[in-house]
Amino acid sequence: MTLTMTTIVDSPIGKLRLAAEDGVLTGLYMDGARHGPIGEEAWIEDDSPFEEVAAQLEAYFAGERTTFDIPLRSSGTKFQQQVWAGLLEIPYAETWSYGQLANRVGNPKASRAVGLANGRNPISIIVPCHRVIGANGSLTGYGGGLDRKAWLLQHEQRHAANHRGG
């Protein structure tokens, strides 16, 4: 049986629970998010596997990092995995509609299913589900709450100019 290690880190959008198995990040959950971790009562509190994750998150929130270089593993259906991989292709400080993401994963008529898969993303922020918006440009559904989604998008917009051209 694989042990899941966990810790909590502070962030400008509240406490974030990190989860890892065999040193690989498997979850990043916002406090009070709609879809929280499953089985966390068996997790072991230990912050040692998370030093690099915490450092990269701190740099992201400081506006110094636009991408993450962390081994990730998420459990989900084949379709969910495709959607989550598509999320990683959305550039920093940009947004795609659910329809654009559905096109990207090769299933243009599946924007509703893409939205459901997006909402089940277990590694928020690092797998940037906050960058997906409604077709009309509105901020729609976000498991961590629309206020956090707006904060993350505004944060990236504020810092995007610092990272262009270099």
Instruction: Provide the whole-model pTM.
Output: 0.90
All residues at 6 or more sequence positions from 159 whose CB lies less than 8 Å from its CB, including other chains: 63, 66, 93
Clarify whether residues 47 and 85 are in a common domain.
no
Domain-terminating residue out of 12, 30, 61:
61
Q: Clarify whether residues 102 and 44 are in a common domain.
A: no
Domain range holding 126?
Answer: 78-163
Question: Same domain for 53 and 83?
Answer: no
What's the alpha-carbon Rg for the chain, to the nearest Å?
Answer: 15
Per-residue pLDDT of the chain (166 residues; tens, 9 = 90+): 678 889 999 999 999 999 999 999 999 999 876 666 666 677 888 988 999 999 999 999 999 999 999 999 999 999 999 999 999 999 999 999 999 999 999 999 999 999 999 999 999 999 999 999 988 888 887 777 889 999 999 999 999 877 765 4
Place of tokens 């654009």: 100
Catalytic positions, please?
129
